[in-house]
Structure 1
Amino acid sequence: MFGIVSANLDGLIQEAIGEPPIFQSDGSSIRDELDAAARAAIRTLVIDLDCLAEDEGLMALRSYRRRRPHTRIILLGINRVPGDSVLARCVSLGIYDVVNIETDGKDEEQVRSLILSSLQRQLAQPAATYADAARWDIYDSPFSRVNKTVKSIGTEGANIKSVVIKERLIGTPVIVITSATKGSGCTYAAIQLAQLLQNFGKVACLELQHGDSAGSLPLLTTEHVEGVFQVKGMPHIDFAYVKRTTDVTKQKKYDWIVVDAGYWKDRSDDTIDEWERATVGCVTVAPSPWGYFEYLKQMDSISRHRQDWILLLQHPSAGQEKKIKQDMAEYCLPIYSLPYQPEVFSLSDETAGVLQSAFHQTLPQSVAKKRITFRFPWWRSS
C-alpha cells in the first residue's frame, strides 16, 4: 500500500509504483495532508522534496514519523547536492531512502525516463540504511551525525568541504536505554537485558558517564574497578562505566552492546550521539501519573534525535498499562510492561519473555529460550 505527496511528479511516481496509491496529495497543505496520511495504513510513502521546502513541511514530516515510525519513506529530489538543508534534516529524522535525479545535459524525456527507472530500482531494494544516506547528512542540520570542516585555500579563498562520518559500530547490535523519569529503571532494564543476551554471545553492558557524577554499575562489585569488570557468575558480560561506547569496543569484540544512557534530561552530546546511532532505542517510564506526564514532556526532545523507540513500563498496574497504551496508540510505538522483580540479577521466565517480545526483531530467531537466575546476598536493588 503506497502513498504519494507530489505536485508535479505524481504521475511518474504512480507509474513507478505500478498500482493506485491509497493516499495522494499535492503538498499544498502539507501539515493537514501528512496528518491525514498518518491515519492510513501506508507501507511506503514517496515524497517530492519540493513539498518540504518550508519549515512547516519538515515539522509535519517529523510528526508523521513519530506517529508512523515503521512506514518506509522515499524522498525524491531534483539536482540536490550534499549540504542541502532539507535533505540533511530529513536524514536526522531517520529517513535514508533518497532518490536524487541530476538533469544536467538531459532533455525532458530522458529526465522522465531516469526518474521512472530510479524510483523503480529504489522500490525494488530493501529499505536504505544510514550508510546509504551519509553523504546527505552534513552539519546544515542541527542534528546531523557528520562532522564538517571548512577551510580556505589559495588566493581566491575557495571553500573546500571535508566530510568525515562519525565512527559507527557496524555489524554489532547496539541497544541504548534511557529513562524519561528518574528512578524508572534504565540501569535495571540494561542489566536484565544483558542477562538475556548472554545466551546469544558476548555482551558489553555499559553505563554512560554524566559529568563527574558517580555511576551505578561500579557498585555491582565490592572491588575497586577501573575500566571493564565482570560480576561473579556472568562470564559472558563485561560491565563498564564509560563516556562513549567506543572506549570499550575498540579493545574487544562484542556480539551485543547494551548502553545505559541514564536520565534523558541529563543528556550530553555523547548521550545524543549514542541514542541516534543505536540499532534499537528504548525508553523506560514510571507508570504513575506524574512519571507518565514527565515522559510526555520529554517526547518532543527524544523524537528530535530518533523517531522510533521501545517503551518499557516498570511494573504498571493493569489500569495504568491500559490507559498509557490507549493514550500512545496514535504514535504506533511498541509498549511493553516489565513485571515486578526486586532482585536485579534474577531473570525470571516472565521478564525474559517480555524482553524477548520487545526485542524480537533484533534477537536471533532460532535460539532456544533459557532461564538464567543469579542471586548475590550482598546486592540490594534500589
Structure 2
Amino acid sequence: MILALILTPARAEQVRKAVKEHGEVVFDQTGKMDSPGIRNAFQSAARVGADTLIVDIDAGPGPDLAAALRGYRIARPYVRIILLAPGRQPGDAAVATLVGLGVYDIIDGPVEADWGDLVTQALASVPATYAQAARWHIIRGLSGEEQVKEKVVIEQRPMGVVTIAVTGAAPGLGCTHTALAISAFLARQGHNVALVEDSQELVMLDYLNVIGAGDGRVEGARRIKGFDVFPGDITGLTEERGTGFIFDRVLPALREGNYQYVVRDLGFVDSTRIREALRSNLAVLVASAARWRWGDLVKVENLSSFRLALVAPGGREAKEVQKIPEVKAYVIPYQPDPFNIPGESHAELLQPVLPRSRQEKKLFWVRFRVAAATSKRPSA
C-alpha cells in the first residue's frame, strides 16, 4: 500500500507509527496550515501515486481544506481518502462537505483517543461506502421524500474577525459553560473559532490538561471539539495574572490563526468587563430569570446593549424577563455538557453575527421576452 499523509502535530506521531506495518509513505505533510499552505499540501500530494490518503480535518481551515481536497479528488479520483475527525459529531458541516466529495472513510472519536489504533483498524477494513458515511451527510434540497427545486443561495458574512463577549450578571451563573457552548456551536458550523479565557477564576488550563487537549492552530492554544482555547494561565503570561486581559496579549496569535470568531469568557461583570464586552461585536450576558435575581440585572450598566442568555429558566419566569423594556432575552436549555446543547437556541442568540443567506432572484430578460412576443405577431 502506498500512503500519503496530511496531518496535524497532535496526531502525526501516532498515525506514522500505525501506518508503518501497512505500506510505504511517499508523502508526509504535518502542520497547522493556512489557506495557501493547505492548498499547496494537496497539490503536492496529488503529484505522487498513492493508494490511500489520510487527512486530519484540523490540518487547515474548513472551507479551504474542502476546496483543496476537491482539487485533489479531480486529480486522483480513485484514491481512498481516510478522514480523521476528532471531536466531530454527525451533522458537522465541514465533514458533510467532504462526504459530498466522496470521502466515506471517516474516523471520529475524542481528541484524546489513540488515533494510531483507530487508523490501524480503518486500514485493516475494506473501504467504506456512502451507506456508512450517510449519517455525517447533510442533504440540502430534500424534504422527506419530496425533492424541492434547487435554489441559488448567497451567504452574507460579517466582515473581519467577529468578537463575542460572554459575561455573567453574577458569579456562578455559567459564564464559562456558555462560552464553551457558543464556541462549540460555531465550530460545528464549520467556522474557525478561538475561545479566550479572561475570567476572574482561571479554570480552563486545568480542564484542558485533564481531558488531554491537543495543540491548537498556533503556539499557546489548545484544541477541543474543533476550536482553539487560549487559557488564562497561558505559558509566559502567568506573571501578569490578574492585571489586564489576556485578549490584548494574544492578539498576534489570534491574527496568525486566521480565526473567524473569537469568543471571550469575561467572568462576572464589573465596570471594566462591561467596557470590554461593549468593545465586542456581540455582548452576551448570562443571567438568571428568577425574580430574586433581578437585582443582578439592575446593577448592569447599558443592559440594553447585551443579549441575555437565560440558562434553564422556568417558562413563566423567562416570559417575565422578556417583557422588560429594551431587554433582548433568549432561553438556553439546561444541559450539563456544554457540547451537547441544541444549536437552535444558540442560532437565535447569535443571529446578528451569523452568516445570513438570501435567495438570489431569477432574472427575466425583458428584451428577449419582447422580441419573442414580437416574432409571434402575424404579418400584415
TM-score by length of 2: 0.43
**Larger Rg, first or second structure (1 or 2):** 2
TM-score by length of 1: 0.43
